[in-house]
Amino acid sequence: MTLALTKTQIGSIFAILAAFLFSTKSILIKQAYAESALVDGTLLMMLRMSSALPFFLVLCWLNRHRNKNISIKDWTLLLLAGLLGYYFSSWLDFVGLMYISASLERIILFLYPTLTVIASSFIFKQKLNFKSIFAIVLSYGGTVLVMLQEQSNVPHESNFWLGSSLVFASAVCFACYLLLTPKLIQKFGSWNFTGLALSIACIGTILHYLIETPHPIQLLTELPTNIIWYGIALGFLVTVLPTVLMAQSIARIGAAQSAMIASVGPVLTLILATIFLGESLNLIQWFGCALNIIGVLMITLAKKKLT
């Protein structure tokens, strides 16, 4: 007997797989940091984006016919979106992870939908309704609970607040990227936009590494082989594959349903961090994590969106 999956089931499976792969990002980064003193955020970002670049260049080539009659203004906004969303935002996140736990990083980063709503309310001069305000208070209150609990357990001379600030800045940058994307996707097409924006981000990351690193090629030759494999995993398994899976999920079940399923991401990261990194949350932190997820879900799935 043949088991045939429905369109909704396939879309849900794709969303779950994408959420799982995205949730492994901070785990792989922390493991790479722990295994070699040569590794920092810039180097690891370069390895990730170099591994992902060929796929996104292929996307650009396959969709090059979509680039006709595009204004200079739109190309400029595309350049800004690519650099902001997947270069600068990702770099801030990678560097921030040098100072805080993978669990806290995922919780802070998960705030980006609330930041998008807040920014939209200012840009479009629309008042936030009570439900949105309540959701924002829940998510930020929960995040602060987790942060204060973790901060109390780290040495005073640590860079805890620097790391937290960098990751929050990463979430802000990604929220700004999301505000730029809707009109650009209409202009360029979704796959073409993805290929172009991510290619720009990859090239920006590689240039950053070459400019910042005194002996960039020599450093690569000195890296342990397993660090190279971490970079490849971050490029393909955490960047390319989940991007494709989430796009296919949205095509089958819609953005709202995909977002709801993807909300398991922080919980998956917490579980993986416990298993592979030895991290653990106390009851207060789990409560804060739950508040964060509930608040973000309320924002993400709200019927009345600020656009």
- 271 falls within a domain: yes
List the structure tokens of 214: 């005194």
Position 22 confidence tier, pLDDT thresholds 50, 70, 90? very high
> Strand, coil or helix: what is 84?
helix
Residue 182: its pLDDT value, please? Answer: 86
Taking residues 280-292, report their average pLDDT.
91
Contacts of 72 (CB under 8 A, 6+ apart): none
Check: CB of residue 204 under 8 Å from CB of residue 148. Answer: no
For residue range 179-227, list pLDDT tens digits in order.
888 889 889 998 999 999 999 999 999 999 999 999 999 999 999 999 9
Q: How far is 88 from 176, CA to CA, in rounded Å?
A: 11
Q: With respect to residue 305, please indicate whether it lies within any of the assigned structural domains.
A: no
Express each pLDDT in 180-189 by its tens digit. Answer: 888 898 899 9
Give residue 154's pLDDT. 75
Range of the domain at 130: 12-300
pLDDT band (50, 70, 90) for residue 156:
low
* Domain-located, residue 139: yes
The pLDDT score that the predictor gives to residue 258 is: 81
Residue 2 domain-assigned (yes or no)? no
How many structural domains compose the chain?
Answer: 1
Residue 37 within any structural domain of the chain = yes
**Residues of the chain with pLDDT > 90: what percent?**
68
Looking at residue 119, its pLDDT comes to 86
Cβ(23)–Cβ(277) under 8 Å? Answer: no
Residue 3 pLDDT level (bands cut at 50, 70, 90): low
The pLDDT of residue 306 is 41
- pLDDT of res. 2: 53
State the pLDDT at residue 155: 72
**Torsion, Cα of 65, 68, 70, 75 (10° steps):** 50
Q: Which residue has the higher pLDDT, 39 or 2?
A: 39
**pLDDT band at residue 236 under the 50/70/90 scheme:** very high
Is pTM beyond 0.85? Reply is: yes
The widest CA-to-CA distance across the chain, in whole angstroms, is 63
Across 262-267, average pLDDT = 87
More confident residue, 128 or 21: 21
274 within some domain: yes
Please, what is the average pLDDT of the chain?
90
Residue 99 lies in a domain: yes
Q: Which residues, 6+ apart, have CB-to-CB distance to 55 below 8 Å?
A: 236, 240
CA-wise closest residue to 270 among 262, 261, 279: 279
Read off the tokens for 246. 């989430």
Domain membership flag for residue 170: yes
Closest CA to 146 of 273, 27, 14: 273
